[in-house]
Structure 1
Amino acid sequence: MKTKSIQPFLKWAGGKRQLLPSIRERIPERSTISNYYEPFLGGGAVFLDLKPNRAVVNDFNEDLINAYRVIKTDVEQLIKDLEKHENTEEYYYRMRAIDRSDTYSEWTSIEKASRLIYLNKTGYNGLYRVNSKGHFNTPYGRYKNPNIVNKENLLDLNKYFNSNNIKFLTGDFEGVLRSVESGSFVYIDPPYVPLNTTVSFTGYTNSKFGKNDQIRLKNVCDELNARNVKFLLSNSKVDFIEDLYKDYNVEIIAARRSINSVGSKRGKIDEVLISNYTL
């Protein structure tokens, strides 16, 4: 596809923008990939960097996938709705509280996508976080001039989504991975195992992704491997993960994390890239 670079439209905790060079050099030869799968899409940094012609991408966060779908089908109306938002604290908290009201269910998909993007652009540190009830609870960010309406990038995303065979799904990762076609490539970026008991962020949805889910994911990776499907997986460098995937290629890389409520805790940490192939 002959397009200029397109960027994620959201800032997402755990996003892979700064790891793209390391990930790019570990992607199999493009000519050998018939289809691209990504079961934990998030901000989509890897997906949008690769720009595959055929892809099935998924996330458990329904509001997030709704935004991708709206960009594909109703981008002009989305841009128009984004232009109405105000960068004030009072307006921010009024918009944030909408998902606690009975009327939120009556909102259109365009309005919900617009709200998600607005809160992401104006909320503290671009952090998407919900409580146990699924209510957005990130505080106001106090930015002077946030880029709420990145019209050019939204139009480029719309063009890419509609010029290629891209499917957006929402649901559990297992259902997506069990349907992977032979010859496909899978990039897997699950919620990371916390580095310790006091450093944990799994607030993308109100469902926690725990140890049993990590084990369930590894079992599905074993199935992919048995079917000769190539996968690349990211996670924390912790003993649990390194031991879990000890039969695969485990590489340690340095990453910089920029989303933390405490500025001093943002910095370089070790992560792992795990694959079932060698280049």
Structure 2
Amino acid sequence: MKSDTLVKGKINPLVRPFLKWAGGKRQLLPEIVKYVPKLTSKHTYYEPFIGGGALLFELQPQKAVINDSNRELINCYQAIRDSLDELMEELSKDKYSNSETSYYHMRDLDRSAKKYADLSAVEKAARIIYLNKTCYNGLFRVNSQGQFNVPFGRYKNPNFLDEAVLRAVNKYLSSNTITLSNLDFQEAVKDAKKGDFIYLDPPYDPVSETASFTGYDVNGFNRHEQARLKKVFDDLTAKGCKVMMSNSCTDFILDLYKDYQETIKKVRATRSINSNALKRGKIDEVLILNYQVQDK
């Protein structure tokens, strides 16, 4: 049940993720929403690892600060909000066809610094949306040079121009007070105030030595970063913010957040994005809260 104070007005079901994203939370939403606190209209929703935006779009708060370290991703949100007609016109062009030739031509644009630099912000956003919907398994993955390197997906009829969803997301982003940023997570939440709600969905701590791929960015998100995020979690708690974090249920994470062990909720999640099909399936995850809430 959604908070009737965080969300004012009618929820539009067409406002939903426009990209498939590694670590996306759509299938876990019923579990996550149970623990979203009630907030008043003066409070702000923060999500410094926005990814596909499943929880943001489920709650549709009127005031939000959303951020991601992935510049390509935030550019997509900005293009949908600020240049929707131009973006849809771009995606309608013949060069965005469901063919291997078109796919690899578009994918390889970032192999040339000059070719990529010559693309407009709208063209860059269209490229990412197109690649995301036509690449293998809907991954966003780059190599050590920051080049998109997922192979062609061979789908029969990928919908990379979902006009209804794009228009709904545009209306939500442009008709509410939604701040978009491309910053470090610590910087993205520095203005959070007492009573604000922050949802942290970082790249997960790997469940094994061979499961360290996150597909998130060229720098990865190692345990040093997890420890830095714990410091931010503590700082937000000290300010009186309400914080929820999703992560994998590893000994490292459970030990790192042992101060919050009374408000850790274990959930079973389905991992649908993995380059190895054998590694997809049910896995334990945790929701770590800094506030008490009754299970519903």
Do they fold alike, i.e. is TM over 0.5?
yes
- Cα distance in 2 for partners of 1:32, 1:22 equals 23
- Cα distance in 2 for partners of 1:258, 1:46 equals 18
Q: Secondary structure at the match of 1:31?
A: coil
Pick closer, same or farther for the CA change 1:98–1:216 going to 2, 3 Å: same
Pick closer, same or farther for the CA change 1:250–1:32 going to 2, 3 Å: farther
Q: Which runs of structure 2 are paired with 1:1-80 in the superposition (5 Å)?
A: 1-5=9-13, 6-31=15-40, 34-80=43-89
The answer to whether the 8 A contact 1:32-1:183 is kept is no
Q: Which runs of structure 2 are paired with 1:1-279 in the superposition (5 Å)?
A: 1-5=9-13, 6-31=15-40, 34-84=43-93, 85-101=96-112, 102-248=114-260, 249-279=263-293
User: For structure 1, which runs of at least 5 residues remain unmatched after alignment?
Assistant: none
- Cα distance in 1 for partners of 2:155, 2:225 equals 37
Q: Give per-residue Cα distances to partners, 1:230-249, cap 9 Å, x unaligned.
A: 10000000000001001112
- What is the TM-score of this pair, normalised by structure 1? 0.98
- Cα distance in 1 for partners of 2:203, 2:109 equals 26
The answer to whether the 8 A contact 2:39-2:196 is kept is no
* Aligned residue type for 2:150: T
Q: How far did residue 264 of structure 1 move? A: 2.2
- Cα distance in 2 for partners of 1:52, 1:62 equals 23
* Aligned residue type for 1:256: T
- Cα distance in 1 for partners of 2:204, 2:56 equals 19
The answer to whether the 8 A contact 2:80-2:169 is kept is yes
Q: How far did residue 177 of structure 1 move? A: 2.0
The answer to whether the 8 A contact 2:143-2:149 is kept is yes
The answer to whether the 8 A contact 1:234-1:272 is kept is yes
- Cα distance in 2 for partners of 1:161, 1:7 equals 12
Q: How many residues align?
A: 279
- RMSD of the alignment, in Å? 1.1
The answer to whether the 8 A contact 2:196-2:241 is kept is yes
Q: How far did residue 2 of structure 1 move? A: 2.2
Q: How far did residue 203 of structure 1 move? A: 2.3
The answer to whether the 8 A contact 1:174-1:217 is kept is yes
- Cα distance in 1 for partners of 2:177, 2:124 equals 24
- What is the TM-score of this pair, normalised by structure 2? 0.92
Q: How far did residue 256 of structure 1 move? A: 0.3
* Aligned residue type for 2:99: T
* Aligned residue type for 1:91: S
The answer to whether the 8 A contact 2:247-2:285 is kept is yes
Q: Secondary structure at the match of 1:247?
A: helix
Aligned to 2:4: none
Pick closer, same or farther for the CA change 1:141–1:190 going to 2, 3 Å: same
The answer to whether the 8 A contact 1:189-1:235 is kept is yes
The answer to whether the 8 A contact 2:193-2:240 is kept is no
* Aligned residue type for 1:10: L
- Cα distance in 1 for partners of 2:111, 2:249 equals 37
